[in-house]
Amino acid sequence: MESMVVSTITMHVTEQGLGNPHQWAYKKGHSTELLLVKITGDWRQVINKKHVVGVVFVDFRKAFDAIPHSILLRKLQSLGVAGDLWCWVRDYLSGRTQVTTINGRQSQAMPVTFGVPQGSVLGPTLFSIFCNDLPNITEGIDGDPQLQMYADDTTFYVAVPTSDLVAFKLNEYHGILSFSLRTLKERFKSLGPRRRNLLDSDDQDVRARIHEELNGPACLSGYRSMWHTLQREGFQVSRQAVATCLREMDPEGCARRKRHKLKRRVYSYPGPNYCWHIDGYDKLKPDGFAIHGCIDGHSRKVLWLKLDRTNNDPVVIGRCYMETVKEYGGCPQKVRTDCGTENGLEAAAQSYFMDKNLAHIYGTSPHNQRIEGWWSYLRKHKTTWWINFFKDLAEQQVYTIGNDLQMECLWFCFSNVVQQDLDTVKDHWNTHYIRGSNHDTVKGKPDELFYLPELLDTVNGLNPGVTCEDITVGLLDQIKQEIVEVLGGVEDVVGIDIEDAVRMGIEDRGFPVVRVGVVAFRVQARDVSERRAGVRRDNGCFAGLEMMRF
C-alpha cells in the first residue's frame, strides 16, 4: 500500500513540476554523482574567473525524527495532495506511540507528533516534500548564492571576487557564519593555500598574448594593467614576469610611462551614487564617432560608455541616463554636467526624480574632473590608437574626411568594433584595483566600492523612490514631438512668452508626461530665440529648471 501511495504522490509532483530542482535525493535520473558533477562544475567556472568560492556544509541532526506532522500535512495540501490520499497520509502518521525501556522497566506510552518512520517506503518521500521549499531561501539574495541538497545533506556556496569578502558575504548578507574575517583569514593560513605553477617570462603563450596586446590599444597600458588582463584570461603569471616581458618587448613604452606624472585634486563624497559625472568625448568626432560616458564620483565606477553618431542630441544623453536609472533601480543625489543644451532632458529628469532643482549641477569642464580625468585614461589606453588608425586611413586615401558616403562606410565597418573596445576598457577599469594616495583617494576596486559601500563604512546615496511608469526611455523622443505638437513647433514658439505657452499646454490641453519634456523643451526654445537675437547666455541651461514645479 505504501508503494502505491509513493507512486501516486511522486507522479503528481513530477507532472505538475512541483519538485524543487535543488533536491537531488529520491528522484529518477538524480544521484550523488550527478550532484558532485554539478557542484564541482559551478566551482570550476568561478575559479576560472579568478573568484573565490565560500562553502558551508550543513547536516541536519535527527532530520527524519524532527518533522512536525502538522506542518508536513499543510505542505502536502499546498502541493495539491487532497481528498482520500491526504486523509490516508494523515491516518498513517497519527495514532503512533513510543515507550522507553530501561533495566526491564517500561515508561508510559507517549504520542508521537514528530518524525516520519525510518526504513519505511513512504518516509523518504515525505521528508523530501517537507524540505521541498528550503532551497528557495536563496532567491533574491545579493550575490546569487546556491543551495543544493541530497536528502538532509545541504551545501550552501557563494562566489566572491576575493577571499576577504567570503566572511562578509556569508555573515553580513546571509547570516551564515558567526566568526569574524580575522578568524577566516587565520583558518585560510592554517590550510596553507598558495599560488602554484606560476608561468615565467619565457613562456611562449604569455609572450604571444602580450605581443598581441602591444599591437593594439593596450600598448599604452603598464605592466599592472597587462597583468590584470592576463589574469582575467586565465594566465597564472606573476607581476614581475609581466614587467620583465614588457621591458624586453616594449622598452620605449616603458620609458615613456615612467616619465609620466599627474597631480590630482582633493575630491570626496560620502559614498556611491551621491554624484554622477556626465560628459561627451569628441576626439573621434572628426571621423564620425561620438562617445558619451558617465562615472560615479565616489567609487569611480564607469556607469556607461556609449558610442553614437552624435553626443549633442538631448535624446541620446537622456536615453543613456534613463537606461542607467532603470538598471540600478534609482537615481543619484546629484548629477554634474557641462552647460551644453544637450543635457536638457537628463537635467530635467534628474530634477524631477529628486523633486529639487539643485539635484543637477551645471558647470565648466575643469569643475567636472571625475569624468574629464577619466577621459585622459581612455585616451592613454585606447583612443590614441584609434585616432592614429583613422588618420593613417585618411593619409593613405582609404577614405576622405567629410565625404558622407565614405564616412558612412567607415561607421558601418568600425562602429561595433569600437563599441566592443569601449566595453572592454569599461569592464577592465571597473574591476581593477585603485591604489590609495595622498589626495584623499578611496582605494579599492570600483565595482566593490560601488556595490558594497559597507566595506568602507560609506553610505549609498541612491534614491530608490524613482518610478518610471510614465517616463520611459522610449518616450523621450515622443516627449519632444508631443510638446512641439501642443505648442505649435519651435518656429511658432520663438518670440512669445515661453512660460505662458507651456502653462497653456498643460492646463488647457491636459498634456501627458509633460514635466521632463516641457522643461527641456523650454530650455532649447529659449536658446534658439537668444541665438537669433545674438544673445549669449553661458548659464542659459539654468533657465528651464525654475519651471520644474508649477
Residue 175: which pLDDT band, with cuts at 50, 70 and 90?
low
Task: Work out the number of other CB atoms within 10 angstroms of the CB of residue 283.
Answer: 16
62-71, 73-82, 222-231: range with highest mean pLDDT: 222-231
pLDDT single digits (tens) 235-258: 878 888 889 988 888 888 888 788
pLDDT single digits (tens) 450-474: 998 888 888 899 988 765 554 444 4
pLDDT single digits (tens) 307-359: 999 988 888 898 899 889 988 888 999 999 998 888 888 888 888 888 887 89
Answer yes or no: is pLDDT of 177 > 70. Answer: no
Q: What is the pLDDT of residue 344?
A: 86
Q: Which amino acid is at 539?
A: N
Q: What is the pLDDT of residue 232?
A: 77
**Rounded CA separation 451/137 (Å):** 22
**Rounded CA separation 223/250 (Å):** 11
Residue 292: which pLDDT band, with cuts at 50, 70 and 90?
very high
Residue 498: which pLDDT band, with cuts at 50, 70 and 90?
very low
What is the share, in percent, of the chain residues with pLDDT greater than 70? 73
pLDDT single digits (tens) 401-449: 888 888 899 999 999 999 999 999 999 999 999 887 766 678 899 999 9
Q: What is the pLDDT of residue 40?
A: 85
The region of weakest confidence among 84-98, 309-323, 363-377 is 84-98
Task: Please give the model's pTM, rounded to 2 decimal places.
Answer: 0.46
**Rounded CA separation 131/112 (Å):** 20
Unique residue bearing C-alpha cell 588608425: 389
Q: What is the pLDDT of residue 231?
A: 79
Rounded to a whole number, what is the distance in angstroms from the first to the last CA of the chain?
76
- Higher-confidence position of 392 and 503: 392
Q: What is the pLDDT of residue 492?
A: 44
Residue 284: which pLDDT band, with cuts at 50, 70 and 90?
very high
140-154, 278-292, 514-528: range with highest mean pLDDT: 278-292
What is the share, in percent, of the chain residues with pLDDT greater than 90? 18
Q: What is the pLDDT of residue 423?
A: 94
Q: What is the pLDDT of residue 502?
A: 41
CA-to-CA dists, residue 189 to 40, 162, 163, 192, 193, angstroms: 23, 15, 12, 5, 7
Q: What is the pLDDT of residue 383?
A: 92
**Rounded CA separation 32/148 (Å):** 11
Cβ contact 314:345 at 8 Å: yes
**Rounded CA separation 421/291 (Å):** 12
- Higher-confidence position of 116 and 395: 395
- Higher-confidence position of 111 and 470: 111
Residue 540: which pLDDT band, with cuts at 50, 70 and 90?
very low
